[in-house]
Amino acid sequence: MNAQVTGPKVYCYLFGRTDMPITETMRNAWIVMGFILLLCLFLTHGLKKIPKGKQALAEKLVLMLDNLVDSTMGPGSRAYTPYIAALLMSSFFGSLASLIGLRSTTADLNTTLGWALITFAMITYTKIRYGGFGGYLKSFLEPIFIMAPLNVLSEVATPVSMSFRHFGNMAGGLVITTLLLGALQVLSNAVLGFLPVPLLQIGIPGILSLYFDLFTAAMQAFIFSMLTMSYVGAAREG
């Protein structure tokens, strides 16, 4: 079985520096962002006072997201809606990139860790904004001062757990699908070697793709966004 699971390809290096690579993930991320931009332009083109068709759909989606942000983070939180929408779309369409032959952007830890660090910065900023810098430092000493090391560890673990959860699910699906395709090719060559195509590779991978690419993509995008809203909302309440 000739199945290989590797990291994203490196196309070149900026200024010849090996610590500044241009990778397959970066290329695919720009493709996804371009698609999201075109989708937004399409849905918002030619807006009218009385919505119908694509405008009605766009307004319904925005309203649903506003309500989700309000119910999760509390009233007065709609300023976070654009960021949550960007997370949802980037995660969902980035994961679905595999359906058109591209490597999923979320199967690269750099992508999910970047999002998690942005979320972590928002959490920290919100805690300081609503509780003051002194209150933020004091929170590490609660309920008693000897808990400070564990509280610091828990704070640092937030972006790590968020990024690895999302990355692990998408990368795991990529590995399983790749191994299954290789195994089916070997089986097809052994049983149906007289056929010009590996017949057993048709059907089963497509069914699995519906789970690993579509269902898991939607689920992980929703979970990551919900965790972001929950953490930032808790920081506001604190």
Beta bridge partners of 22: 12
CB 182 within 8 A of CB 2: yes
- Asked if the model's pLDDT at residue 11 lies above 60, the reply is yes
Beta bridge partners of 13: 21
CA gyration radius, the chain: 22
Residue 87: predicted pLDDT: 94
pTM above 0.85, yes or no: no
Q: Which helix (H) or strand (E) holds 42?
A: helix 24-44
Give tens-digit pLDDT for 56-74. 888 999 999 999 999 998 8
pLDDT-derived band at 200 (thresholds 50, 70, 90) equals: low
